[in-house]
């Protein structure tokens, strides 16, 4: 009897301790599953991304959080973690698959390790304007890409855009492919972007977004490619005296969620979150170009760098050198996808 009593007390203590720990750490990353989904006990949705709150992605993530809170009357709380605060480039995808974060918005290039076909958005000069991008996002190309996420327990919710990339470096004005010879550029992810720089006798080195300013400042790399908004909000232009407006490639985002988490949401809440995502996607795409134009003005007005705009003839020289990369990656990306984009011109 005494032994049983002692055992009972011991078990009680263990249960108490476990409950206490659970309350303290929120029962791990999937704490949202434990919530009742009421205003008193809201479902917590962690939305992590790497850019500044002033970026198209940052502004849209916050708008999504605000609208979801309003429309669910506080039953869902989307917590936005910008600027790699919670997870950086290297960790966010793994954290999503583990259920430690619920929504992420990586640049398509960063999906390389999981679904290499997303590198289609990195093919230099493939996307001739943003309308072609939107048609690819919202049509068959986008659907085929999202389908490839399914076996990984990930759902693609939307495509957002940032815009066209341009070059910057700390050595010289870049007007022709020859000017790139021997320079090392920070890239977001491997393969296609590496090949793009190799095609003009330069090199690419992968550096996480959150570490790029330091890499540029310390001269670990000579240059980078990015949108005006990222260059401005991350202050890259302060350590890159020569910028070239080249529009040579795209920087677009895939908004991803964990399948188990998403399907586990109450139906009415999932529907609100889905509809709000569609609406915010349209809003995000309206903002992106204006924010990039504003950033270009800030960069120009800073007096810290010169911005050179390629002429159509100069652009053609880059296209001639870089477009063979499309064929090189046909097997990795899928010829059907590449042809699918070309058919949109
Ligand atoms: C980069 O690494 O340069 C971009 O992917 C950052 C971003 O999310 O826009």
Would you say residue 18 lies in a domain? no
Query: In the chain, what percentage of residues exceed pLDDT 70?
Result: 90
pLDDT, one tens digit per residue, over 234-289 is 999 999 999 999 999 999 999 999 999 999 999 999 999 999 999 999 999 999 99
Q: What domain range is 326 assigned to?
A: 36-342
Q: To test the ligand 1 pocket, which listed residue (49, 50, 162) has its Cβ within 8 A of the most ligand atoms? A: 50
- Burial of 154-184, coded b for 16+ CB within 10 Å and e otherwise, reads bbbbbbbbbbbbbbbbbeeebbebebbeebb
Would you say residue 13 lies in a domain? no
Would you say residue 148 lies in a domain? yes
CA–centroid distance, residue 33 to ligand 1 (Å): 30
Phi then psi for residue 76, to 5 deg, are -125, 135
Confidence of residue 35 (pLDDT cuts 50, 70, 90): confident
Would you say residue 73 lies in a domain? yes
Atom of ligand 1 nearest to the CA of 107: 5
pLDDT above 50 (res 11)? no
Q: To test the ligand 1 pocket, which listed residue (88, 251, 292) has its Cβ within 8 A of the most ligand atoms? A: 251
CA 30 – CA 45 distance, rounded (Å): 9
Atom of ligand 1 nearest to the CA of 55: 9
Q: To test the ligand 1 pocket, which listed residue (226, 237, 288) has its Cβ within 8 A of the most ligand atoms? A: 226
Query: In the chain, what percentage of residues exceed pLDDT 90?
Result: 89
pLDDT, one tens digit per residue, over 58-114 is 999 999 999 999 999 999 999 999 999 999 999 999 999 999 999 999 999 999 999
CA–centroid distance, residue 192 to ligand 1 (Å): 15
Residue 3 pLDDT:
45
pLDDT, one tens digit per residue, over 185-241 is 999 998 999 999 999 999 999 999 999 999 999 999 999 999 999 999 999 999 999
pLDDT above 60 (res 118)? yes
Number of domains in the chain: 1
CA–centroid distance, residue 110 to ligand 1 (Å): 9
Would you say residue 192 lies in a domain? yes
- Enter the tokens of residue 8: 């009972």
Say whether 250 sits in a helix, a strand or coil. strand
With CA atoms as reference, report the closest residue to 196 among 217, 236, 223.
223
Those residues whose C-beta lies under 8 Å from the C-beta of residue 170, and which sit 6 or more positions away, are 216, 219, 222, 223, 239, 240, 241, 242
Around ligand 1, the residues with Cβ closer than 6 Å are 50-51, 107, 162, 188, 209, 226, 230, 251
Would you say residue 2 lies in a domain? no
CA–centroid distance, residue 326 to ligand 1 (Å): 22
pLDDT above 60 (res 17)? no
Confidence of residue 7 (pLDDT cuts 50, 70, 90): low
Would you say residue 224 lies in a domain? yes
Domain of residue 42, CATH code: 3.40.190.170
Q: Which of 140-144, 188-192, 254-258, 312-316 has the lowest mean pLDDT?
A: 188-192
**Quick one: average pLDDT of 313-340?**
98
Would you say residue 9 lies in a domain? no
pLDDT above 90 (res 16)? no
Q: To test the ligand 1 pocket, which listed residue (88, 107, 228) has its Cβ within 8 A of the most ligand atoms? A: 107
Confidence of residue 13 (pLDDT cuts 50, 70, 90): very low
CA 30 – CA 17 distance, rounded (Å): 19
Q: Dihedral through CA 301, CA 303, CA 307, CA 308, nearest 10?
A: 120
Residue 336 pLDDT:
98
């Amino acid at each position: 009897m005494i032994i049983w009593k002692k055992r009972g007390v011991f078990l009680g203590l263990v249960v108490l301790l476990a409950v206490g720990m659970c309350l303290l750490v929120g029962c791990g990353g999937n704490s949202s599953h434990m919530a009742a989904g009421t205003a008193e006990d809201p479902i917590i949705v962690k939305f992590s991304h790497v850019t500044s709150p002033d970026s198209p992605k940052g502004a849209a993530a916050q708008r999504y959080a605000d609208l979801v809170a309003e429309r669910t009357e506080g039953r869902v709380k989307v917590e936005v973690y910008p600027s790699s605060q919670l997870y950086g480039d290297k960790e966010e995808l793994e954290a999503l698959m583990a259920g430690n974060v619920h929504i992420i918005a990586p640049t398509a290039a960063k999906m390389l390790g999981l679904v290499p076909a997303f590198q289609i958005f990195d093919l230099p000069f493939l996307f001739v304007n943003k309308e072609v991008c939107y048609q690819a996002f919202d049509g068959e190309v986008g659907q085929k890409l999202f389908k490839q996420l399914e076996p990984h327990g990930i759902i693609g919710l939307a495509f957002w855009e940032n815009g066209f990339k341009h070059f910057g470096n700390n050595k010289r004005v870049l007007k022709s492919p020859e000017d790139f010879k021997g320079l090392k550029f920070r890239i977001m992810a491997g393969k296609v972007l590496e090949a793009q720089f190799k095609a003009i006798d330069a090199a690419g080195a992968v550096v996480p977004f959150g570490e790029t300013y330091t890499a540029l400042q310390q001269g670990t790399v000579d240059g980078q490619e990015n949108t005006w908004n990222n260059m401005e909000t991350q202050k890259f232009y302060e350590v890159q005296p020569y910028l070239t407006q080249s529009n040579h490639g795209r920087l677009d985002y895939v908004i991803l969620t964990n399948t188990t988490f998403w399907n586990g949401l109450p139906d009415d809440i999932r529907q609100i979150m889905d509809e709000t995502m569609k609406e915010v996607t349209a809003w995000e795409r309206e903002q992106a170009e204006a924010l990039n134009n504003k950033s270009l003005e800030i960069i120009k007005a800073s007096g810290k760098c010169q911005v050179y705009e390629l002429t159509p003839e100069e652009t053609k020289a880059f296209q001639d050198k870089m477009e063979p990369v499309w064929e090189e990656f046909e097997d990795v990306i899928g010829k059907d996808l590449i042809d699918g984009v070309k058919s949109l011109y």
